[in-house]
């Protein structure tokens, strides 16, 4: 009997010391098996919350459901339901991890990607967001998170607000991002990541999300740094929204929700939740058309006001925008049409803004397009930099991405610079994949990847490599890093004089007169 007991104890000890199969990790919910490469292991489609379907539609993400056995984590999970083709589903709350770590003890810095798409589309399976090359270049862990978009991600309604203790509704997609970050805090160490060194980054709606997470008390402590590419959300709420003034109040968003329910032919929230998702599109309610709101809970207030008061998650930030964002949104058109749209949006400030951002003779040239660029991105980012450098303790690093050929005068691209989204391929190290790409593009991409991963490591883009020194932004010394190839350089904030005129408009919009006018 004694000998049997000894044998059983020895077998138990051997089993407890047995090494898990390569690429297999136990996370919240169960075991996952990733794809093992020579220098990296990749995990795709890991569930981080319960599927938000049925009675969980338009609810905060719930705990992930445990599974039996080993879940295959070699393929992306479905992206959020949206218009267009692709692998999209309401069951979409999955994330992905790329790790070069050989052991959980390595505790590498972590970068977490949040995709763009106007809060109406996007998913982590987009090849543009493949994180393998950047993880390899920086020697850090990369992760990316799916979140609900459109009407499934951002519907507010009085019934929805009433069923929540917070009294709010509408920011489901942001809560998905927060749930993903909570999962990362609990699990990333098992992939060799350091939960105390998590930096969030995103572009467009992803960059705006980063801005909102920096202002949300629900995200406090979930990240130690933030990178926003063409983001920021510092405009005041407005019933009729425009780029840079995209936010609505909870009351206005709830009123929209009432109309959406009517259009869907439903008389109650229960009917809306029971409705097949395909019915929304067949009744003219496309899955798109959503945006976060100032709900008083996830987003407590106008973000500009929160930052003025110092009420935000004070972490180092690296923030910027592209030189010709307006080319992607203003739509060109005639000078007359441009002036009419400026007068409609800016009212009594239109004349001053048309002077600050003049047209080019009979063309809506770049200086005119820059009004849209700055309203949507430039002023947002500059305001973020000014406010945080004034009220916070963490450093701010500002950039201006400007990489493009000098187009000849007879080219239809003459006078155009870097459009919205161009920077993404540079950050993710996808530029070098094209052998025909100019060497200056490849050089800039490599430098940007180092800046981004240095920031994840040190809270500062500067590092041991031979890189142009990037100074922190302060109101006394407002410098910007011009990201242009082959070698970036430091300069003044581009177009600051014009943005000061735009700043006057946004200040007026927050006055009683400006609020009344916007209604």
Q: Which residues are catalytic?
A: 204, 325, 420
**How many CB atoms are closer than 10 A to CB 185?**
17
Closest CA to 30 of 77, 64, 80, 79: 64
Answer for the pair 61, 28: CB distance below 8 angstroms, yes or no: no
Q: Measured between alpha carbons, how far is 135 from 141 in angstroms, rounded to an integer?
A: 6
The token duo for 233 is: 């959300």
The token duo for 318 is: 């690296």
Three-state SS at 253: helix
The token duo for 483 is: 């990201």
**How many CB atoms are closer than 10 A to CB 365?**
18
Three-state SS at 177: helix
Q: Which long-range contacts (CB under 8 A, 24 or more apart) does 430-436 make?
A: 430/128, 430/130, 430/133
Closest CA to 200 of 129, 254, 145: 145
**How many CB atoms are closer than 10 A to CB 391?**
15
How large is the C-alpha radius of gyration of the chain? 24
């Amino acid at each position: 009997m004694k000998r049997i007991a000894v044998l059983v104890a020895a077998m138990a000890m051997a089993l407890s010391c047995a090494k898990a199969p390569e690429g297999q990790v136990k996370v919240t919910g169960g075991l996952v098996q990733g794809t093992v490469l020579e220098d990296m292991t990749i995990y795709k489609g890991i569930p981080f919350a319960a599927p938000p379907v049925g009675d969980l539609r338009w609810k905060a993400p719930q705990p992930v459901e445990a599974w039996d056995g080993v879940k295959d984590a070699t393929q992306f999970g479905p992206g959020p339901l949206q218009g267009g083709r692709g692998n999209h589903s309401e069951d979409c709350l999955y994330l992905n991890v790329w790790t070069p770590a050989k052991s959980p003890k390595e505790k590498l810095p972590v970068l977490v990607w949040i995709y763009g798409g106007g809060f109406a589309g996007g998913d982590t399976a987009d090849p543009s967001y493949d994180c393998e090359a950047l993880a390899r270049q920086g020697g850090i862990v990369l992760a990316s998170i799916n979140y609900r978009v459109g009407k499934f991600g951002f519907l507010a309604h009085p019934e929805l607000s009433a069923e929540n203790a917070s009294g709010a509704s509408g920011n489901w997609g942001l809560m998905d991002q927060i749930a993903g970050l909570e999962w990362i805090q609990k699990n990333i160490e098992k992939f060799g990541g350091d939960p105390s060194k998590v930096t969030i980054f995103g572009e467009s709606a992803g960059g705006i999300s980063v801005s909102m997470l920096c202002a949300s008390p629900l995200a406090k402590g979930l990240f130690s740094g933030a990178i926003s590419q063409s983001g920021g959300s510092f405009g005041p709420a407005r019933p009729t929204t425009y780029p840079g003034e995209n936010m609505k109040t909870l009351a206005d968003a709830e009123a929209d929700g009432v109309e959406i329910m009517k259009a869907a032919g439903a008389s109650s929230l229960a009917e809306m939740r029971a409705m097949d998702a395909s019915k929304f599109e067949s009744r003219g309610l496309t899955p798109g058309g959503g945006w976060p709101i100032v709900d008083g809970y996830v987003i407590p207030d106008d973000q500009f006001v929160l930052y003025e008061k110092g009420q935000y998650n004070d972490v180092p930030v690296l923030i910027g925008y592209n030189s010709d964002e307006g080319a992607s949104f203003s739509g060109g058109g005639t000078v007359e049409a441009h002036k009419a749209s400026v007068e409609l949006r800016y009212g009594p400030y239109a004349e001053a803004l048309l002077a600050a951002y003049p047209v080019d003779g009979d063309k809506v040239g770049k200086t005119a397009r820059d009004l849209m660029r700055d309203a949507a991105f430039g002023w947002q980012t500059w305001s973020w930099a000014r406010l945080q450098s004034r009220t916070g303790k963490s450093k701010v690093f500002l950039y201006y991405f400007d990489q493009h050929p000098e187009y000849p005068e007879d080219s239809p691209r003459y006078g155009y610079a870097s459009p919205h989204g161009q920077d993404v391929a540079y950050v993710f190290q996808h530029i070098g994949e094209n052998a025909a790409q100019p060497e200056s593009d490849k050089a800039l991409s490599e430098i940007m990847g180092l800046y981004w991963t240095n920031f994840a490591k040190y809270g500062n883009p500067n590092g041991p490599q031979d890189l142009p020194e990037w100074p922190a932004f302060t109101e006394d010394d407002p410098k910007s890093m011009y990201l242009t190839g082959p070698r970036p350089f430091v300069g003044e904030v581009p177009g600051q004089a014009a943005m000061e005129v735009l700043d006057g408009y946004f200040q007026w919009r927050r006055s009683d007169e400006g609020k009344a006018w916007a209604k």
